[in-house]
Structure 1
Amino acid sequence: MMAAALAWIALKSLILILVLLGGFAYIMVFERKLLGWMQYRLGPNRVGPWGLLQPIADGVKMFFKEDLMPRDADPIVFHTAPMIALAVALLAYALIPVAPGWAIASPDAGMLTLLAITSLGVYGIALGGWASQSKYALLGSLRSTAQMVSYELAMGMAALSVMVVAGSVRFADIVDAQAGLWNIVRMPVAFLVFFIAMFAETNRTPFDLPEAEAELVSGYNTEYSGMRFAMFYMAEYVNMITAASLITLLFLGGWRGPWLPPVVWFLLKVVFLLFVFIWVRATLPRLRYDRLMHFGWKVLLPASAANLVAYAAWVALR
Structure 2
Amino acid sequence: MTWDTVDIALMLGKIVFVFAVILTYAAYLVLAERRILGFLQDRIGPNRVGPWGLLQPLADVIKMLTKEDMIPSAADRLLFSLAPAMAALPAILTFAIIPLGAPVEIFGHKVTMQVADLNVGVLYFMALSSVAVYGVALGGWASNSKYALLGSIRGLSQLISYELSMGLSLVPVVMLAKSLSLADIVNAQADMPFIVYQPLAFAIFLVSILAECRRIPFDLPEAEGELVAGFHTEYSGMRFGLFFVGEYINIISLGSLASLFFLGGWRGPLLPPILWFFIKVGLFSFLFIWVRGTLPRLRYDQLMHLGWKFLTPLALLNILVTGWWLALR
Q: Are the structure 2 counterparts of residues 43 and 110 from structure 1 closer, same or farther at C-alpha, using a change threshold of 3 Å? A: same
Q: How does 1:123-272 map to 2 (within 5 A)?
A: 123-272=134-283
- In structure 1, the partner of 2:96 is 94
Per-residue CA deviations over 1:4-30 (Å, capped at 9, x if unaligned) read 544442332222222111111100000
| Consecutive unaligned residues in structure 1, runs of 5 or more | none
Does 1:304 pair with 2:306?
no
Deviation at 1:3, TM superposition (A): 5.7
Per-residue CA deviations over 1:231-290 (Å, capped at 9, x if unaligned) read 001000000001100110011111111111111111101101111111111110010111
TM-score w.r.t. the length of structure 1 is 0.97
Does 1:54 pair with 2:56?
yes
- In structure 1, the partner of 2:296 is 285
Deviation at 1:307, TM superposition (A): 0.4
TM-score w.r.t. the length of structure 2 is 0.94
Deviation at 1:212, TM superposition (A): 0.3
SS of residue matched to 1:12: helix
Letter in 2 for 1:73: A
Would you say the 8 A contact 1:221–1:229 is kept in 2?
Answer: yes
- In structure 1, the partner of 2:284 is 273
Letter in 2 for 1:163: V
Letter in 2 for 1:286: R
Q: How does 1:57-96 map to 2 (within 5 A)?
A: 57-96=59-98
Would you say the 8 A contact 1:139–1:219 is kept in 2?
Answer: yes
- In structure 2, the partner of 1:119 is 130
Question: Which structure's residues are more often helix, by fraction?
Answer: 1
Per-residue CA deviations over 1:48-105 (Å, capped at 9, x if unaligned) read 1111111111111110100011111011111111112111111011110011221001
Would you say the 8 A contact 2:117–2:183 is kept in 1?
Answer: no
* Bigger mean CA offset, 24-33 vs 3-12: 3-12
Would you say the 8 A contact 1:163–1:169 is kept in 2?
Answer: yes
Q: Are the structure 2 counterparts of residues 7 and 127 from structure 1 closer, same or farther at C-alpha, using a change threshold of 3 Å? A: farther
Distance in 1 (CA, whole Å) between partners of 2:148 and 2:61 is 24
Deviation at 1:175, TM superposition (A): 1.2
Deviation at 1:2, TM superposition (A): 4.9
Does 1:104 pair with 2:106?
no
Would you say the 8 A contact 2:194–2:263 is kept in 1?
Answer: yes
Distance in 1 (CA, whole Å) between partners of 2:8 and 2:68 is 38
SS of residue matched to 1:270: helix
**Matched residue pairs, number?**
318
SS of residue matched to 2:221: helix
Distance in 2 (CA, whole Å) between partners of 1:73 and 1:276 is 37
Letter in 1 for 2:122: M
- In structure 1, the partner of 2:35 is 33
Would you say the 8 A contact 1:140–1:220 is kept in 2?
Answer: yes
| Consecutive unaligned residues in structure 2, runs of 5 or more | 103-111
Would you say the 8 A contact 1:165–1:312 is kept in 2?
Answer: no
SS of residue matched to 2:292: helix
Distance in 2 (CA, whole Å) between partners of 1:6 and 1:301 is 43
Distance in 2 (CA, whole Å) between partners of 1:191 and 1:230 is 31
Does 1:20 pair with 2:31?
no
Quick one: percent identity of the two aligned structures? 52
